[in-house]
């Protein structure tokens, strides 16, 4: 197969069930019908695996403590001072 852009020769790769033709000259990529959709689907599955459920309605940071608000009452007493000072 010839590249539709520069007429270089194209080489076929198989990545996770997706056929990709790449031009050896200009590095352009040709996808068969439905292959772009397959890539999008694989990408969204990957994104879902990375996503962990947020600890609250407005989420939390990546570095947040694993158990928000689960501290004992004795601990709560000792951090209250921090609420009121610089």
Chain residues in the site for another protein (CB under 8 A)? 55-71, 75-76, 78-86
**Which lies closer to another protein via its Cβ, residue 45 or residue 77?**
77
Q: Which residues neighbour 17 within 8 Å (Cβ) at sequence distance 6 or greater?
A: 38
Q: Which residues neighbour 74 within 8 Å (Cβ) at sequence distance 6 or greater?
A: none
**Which lies closer to another protein via its Cβ, residue 47 or residue 83?**
83
CB of 6 to another protein, least distance (A): 36
> Nearest CA to 17 among 2, 31, 4, 1?
31
What's the distance, CA 3 to chain centroid?
A: 31
CB of 5 to another protein, least distance (A): 35
**Which lies closer to another protein via its Cβ, residue 16 or residue 78?**
78
CB of 51 to another protein, least distance (A): 13
Q: How far is Cα 29 from Cα 18, in angstroms, rounded to an integer?
A: 12
């Amino acid at each position: 197969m010839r590249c539709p852009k520069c007429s270089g020769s194209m080489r076929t790769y198989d990545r996770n069930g997706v056929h990709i033709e790449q031009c050896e000259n200009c590095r352009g990529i040709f996808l068969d019908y439905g292959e772009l959709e397959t890539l999008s689907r694989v990408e969204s599955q990957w994104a879902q695996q990375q996503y962990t459920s947020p600890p609250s309605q407005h989420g939390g940071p990546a570095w947040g403590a694993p158990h928000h608000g689960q501290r004992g009452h004795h601990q709560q007493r000792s951090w209250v001072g921090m609420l009121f000072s610089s």
